[in-house]
DNA sequence: TTAAACTTTCAATAATTATTGAAAGTTTAT
DNA sequence: ATAAACTTTCAATAATTATTGAAAGTTTAA
């Protein structure tokens, strides 16, 4: 496998993984492209490389910027904008974990809390609802905390030592 | 908030969470419904409760069974089939983690491995591709292993102690 | 065996989500 | 001020994904 093929494989795999994780294809592909690029890319570069429209590129770049994954960079002597993505995988994971927690997990925990704290009217079905949503709430809470803590360990000693402990 | 409202809120929240995680809405809602039900439900029950068609119910139940989350149960004296879901959240998490790892994460690791082991032709861009996909591969591998180990601890002592350690 | 009770399949259709492209908007250089 | 260079917006359209419902398939009881 040569460079071009490998690059395309990486970008398309990352793209379809994105879809699976609630991030759209173009967004994931743009991030992938920037991730392996040796220098910041302009909108033109991205459009050309991924064969997508200007509008699409613009909208998805904005989303990536909202996620905190991509940043605009100024290239001196150039008028147009250039973009790069976070290049350190640890930092990338940290950002994604934080955003997913904020956007997806926290709101669910909130609903589970509300549902699990309805008044117990003594019926079996109400008790089951309370019991099960409470259990789900606790699990979700634990996993969310764990994920954030793990991924926030800058030095990553914890992941390493926990892994070693278990391997 | 009374029972009916709480139930609907739970089912619809779980349903849209599903969409976000690559599981379709009906599938997630069926699971949610079974999760808070005090007894196994028939296809009729599910169709009625969620207002979805027979075909949809049948297909999504099958998927849930494929995932290992839902099982058929025989109710004596009844001809039709009844269904329940795993009621223990820990076990549920274990099953989901294992399946997601197998279906989604492992294949990505494989691609990353392939891409990161292309021949280094000495160019900057090839070296960047190799370096970045290798880093991504290692991170994905670590997180996958960690997730599986964590979730596989039947007694859950590890999650608890790690959490305590960090709180 | 047969017919009623039940489940699955799948082509058609609906609903949702992504993408385009051109017009409107913004910035910068002169 | 104005026009060129560039970006954003958004209604229209395309692509994808989910859902329906009726026909085909299967199982069970008599």
The mean pLDDT of chain B is: 91
Domain coverage including residue A130: 89-166
B65 contact partners, CB below 8 Å, separation of at least 6? B71, B72
| Rounded CA–C1' distance between A83 and C16, in angstroms | 30
> How much is the pLDDT for A146?
82
Q: For chain B, give the longest Cα–Cα distance.
A: 73
Directed axis angle between helix B3-20 and helix B25-35, to 10°? 140
Q: Are A93 and A150 within one domain?
A: yes
Size of interface A-B (CB pairs under 8 A): 142
Q: Are B50 and B114 within one domain?
A: no
Q: Are B69 and B106 within one domain?
A: no
- Residues 61-80 in B having a C-beta less than 7 A from any atom of strand D are 79
A61 contact partners, CB below 8 Å, separation of at least 6? A30, A43, A46, A70, A83
Q: Are A70 and A113 within one domain?
A: no
Q: How many CA atoms lie within 13 A of B24 on its CB side?
A: 10
User: Of A38, A55, A85, which one is at a domain's C-terminal end?
Assistant: A85
Q: Are B40 and B57 within one domain?
A: yes
Q: Are B117 and B80 within one domain?
A: no
Residue B53 CB closer than 7 angstroms to strand D? yes
Order of strands, sheet of A82-85, starting from the edge strand that comes earlier in the sequence: A41-42, A82-85, A70-73
> How much is the pLDDT for A162?
65
Nearest CB to B104 within list A7, A20, A36 = A20
Q: Are B111 and B130 within one domain?
A: yes
> How much is the pLDDT for B109?
95
Q: Are A75 and A122 within one domain?
A: no
For chain A, which ranges sit under pLDDT 50?
none
Overall number of domains in chain B = 2
Token code pair at residue B58 = 């049948």
Q: Are A125 and A155 within one domain?
A: yes
Confidence category of residue B152, pLDDT binned at 50, 70, 90: confident
Q: Are B10 and B81 within one domain?
A: yes
Q: Are B81 and B94 within one domain?
A: no
pLDDT tens figures, B51-76: 999 999 999 999 999 999 999 999 99
User: Of B58, B85, B112, which one is at a domain's C-terminal end?
Assistant: B85
Q: Are B62 and B20 within one domain?
A: yes
pLDDT tens figures, B16-45: 888 877 789 999 999 999 999 999 999 999
């Amino acid at each position: 496998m040569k460079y071009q093929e490998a690059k395309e494989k990486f970008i398309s795999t990352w793209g379809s993984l994105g879809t699976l994780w609630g991030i759209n294809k173009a967004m994931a592909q743009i991030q992938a492209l920037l991730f392996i690029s040796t220098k910041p890319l302009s909108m033109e570069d991205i459009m050309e490389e991924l064969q997508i429209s200007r509008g699409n590129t613009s909208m998805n770049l904005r989303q990536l910027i909202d996620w905190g994954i991509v940043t605009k960079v100024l290239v001196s002597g150039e008028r147009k904008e250039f973009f790069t993505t976070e290049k350190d995988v640890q930092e990338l994971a940290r950002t994604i974990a934080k955003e997913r927690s904020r956007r997806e997990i926290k709101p669910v925990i909130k609903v589970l809390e509300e549902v699990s704290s309805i008044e117990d009217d003594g019926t079996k079905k109400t008790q089951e609802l309370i019991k099960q949503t409470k259990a789900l709430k606790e699990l979700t809470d634990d996993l969310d905390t764990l994920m954030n803590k793990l991924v926030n360990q800058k030095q990553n000693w914890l992941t390493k030592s926990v892994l070693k402990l278990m391997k």
